Amino acid sequence: MKASKDYFSHPVSKLLVWLLPFMLLFSCAHHHHSSQSYKEVSMNSSAYPNAYFKLHFSKMGPGVPEVKGEIEIWLMDSQFRVRDQTGRYAQEILADLQHVRGLGNPPAGMEEIMDLNARASNGLSPDFVEFSGNWESGKGKIIEEGGLAWEPEINQISALAEMVLVPAELPKGGSTQEVIVLGKPGKQYTFRLQGLEDGVAYETQGDWTIYGPFILKKQMKDSKVKGYLLTWEVLDFSRENVKQEDFGQ
């Protein structure tokens, strides 16, 4: 009995016990999903509006450090460019984009949680990652610190640039109200995603602030777990000012 009591009094053991419910929550997120789901989908666009966006991004979850930073997006005709300064690697950025609940990709287990905390404490995250592509050539490009990382198919990365564009179909069952965004009349669209992950019910609330064809603010949060959310907000926005030199070609 004494050995058991000493084990649970150890600081690391206390941390494991505290994180156990969240580890179970995250492990469910890597398994079967049913009912409503959400992820960014490429619009396969060949005629983007001429627009520039600077936005602040934040991703929070239980037991892991907050991910935050600026993202810049340039759109023009068939071209896009994204510069991400949130401290995530390219694969992490793309995985966050495709999470079916819109909350960003959760850590797979305790080892990944510890890795994320260690990386944040030691300043080992990348300063930036860049994504770019041109639908006319069908080629994409990912640049991390140190140079070219790889050249994926354009439809594997284009949804990252298109996250500021209103999709052809909004998530179903939402409600709309008039708001002012960046001093302009816009709309706030609120909706809920409900479903099952391995038999466990989930509910994600989404709030999008829309101005014309653009989404200028987006928040996705877990309705049951406080502090589990992904949000971004446009800080700077301009139209018809993007030029060819912005794409570095």
Q: Closest by alpha carbon to 219, among 211, 126, 227?
A: 227
Q: What is the pLDDT of residue 16?
A: 39
Specify the pLDDT at position 9: 42
Give the type of residue at 159.
Answer: A
What is the C-alpha to C-alpha distance for residues 29 and 102, in angstroms, rounded to an integer?
Answer: 11
Whether the model pTM is above 0.85: no
Q: Other CB atoms closer than 10 Å to residue 135's CB: what's the count?
A: 19
Residue that is written with structure tokens 């520039």 in the block: 52
Q: Which two tokens mark 229?
A: 């959310």
Closest CA to 193 of 57, 100, 130: 100
Distance between CA 200 and CA 195 in Å, rounded?
8
- Cβ atoms of 151 and 142 closer than 8 Å: yes
CA distance 48 to 75: 6
DSSP-derived secondary structure letter, 20: H
| Per-residue pLDDT tens listing for the chain (249 residues) | 434 444 334 443 333 333 434 443 444 444 444 445 444 545 555 599 999 999 999 999 877 888 999 999 999 999 999 999 998 999 899 999 988 788 887 766 677 667 766 676 666 678 899 999 999 999 999 998 877 778 999 999 999 999 999 999 999 999 999 999 888 899 999 999 988 766 778 899 999 999 999 999 999 999 988 889 999 999 999 999 999 999 985
